[in-house]
Amino acid sequence: MRTFILKANTAITSPDFSLKDLPGTGGRIDLLCRFLNSAFLLSHGIRKDVRVFITLYGKPNPPKTIHFEGPKLKVRLNPDERSTSLILKKALEVGKDLREPTKEVEVFPGVYVSNMTFEDVVRRSMKDSTLYYLVEDGRPITEIEFPQNPAFVLGDHLGLGKEDERFLEGIAEKVRVGRRSYLASHVVAFVNIWLDGM
């Protein structure tokens, strides 16, 4: 199982965003939709060997975590951002009254919402995965022999903050797909394709 953990620094944590303005009213929800599509979609199917956690830290009440579990996923992911944003909207609607910090609530089969923090998700993933931090100054991905269950941590268009990077020190090896800063959706697609060939 491959795990991807994306910290979305500005993504709205309520369902009150317009489907006609995902970047503006959604705090870059469009980025999350593209990321999910790149993580799961194949030409004629869906990846069942992928798990995604997206931690949302935008207004009004962060954090929220939306978790997609590939083997259990029954909701239909399409290549368009609008239909994927509807899934996120529903998850945020279900999660708006959650009080317990780490309890997950199932929204659809294979889609869950919680109040888990970025740190909670990383700690949870460490239990059964080896952690890697995707960042420009890491070791080239081509030089690494990945274990059975790798977990990859990355940031959105703003990246991870210094506090997040300090938290990851010593628990996640830095790796890179290239020396430049790429779109998160492109990075997850590259990692999937690279691991497919191993």
Distance CA 117, CA 87 (A): 20
Among candidate residues 116, 190, 115, 180, the one with its CA nearest the CA of residue 152: 190
Would residue 39 be called left, alpha or beta, if left means φ above 0 and alpha means ψ between -120 and 50 degrees? alpha
- 155 annotated binding-site participant: yes
- The one-letter amino acid at 75: V
- The one-letter amino acid at 33: C
Distance CA 25, CA 20 (A): 9
- 134 annotated binding-site participant: yes
> Which three-class secondary structure state does DSSP give residue 106?
strand
Sorted by sequence, the CB contacts under 8 Å of residue 21 that are 6+ apart come out as none
> Which three-class secondary structure state does DSSP give residue 40?
helix
- The one-letter amino acid at 149: N
Annotated binding site: 134, 155
Annotated binding site for S-adenosyl-L-methionine: 134, 155
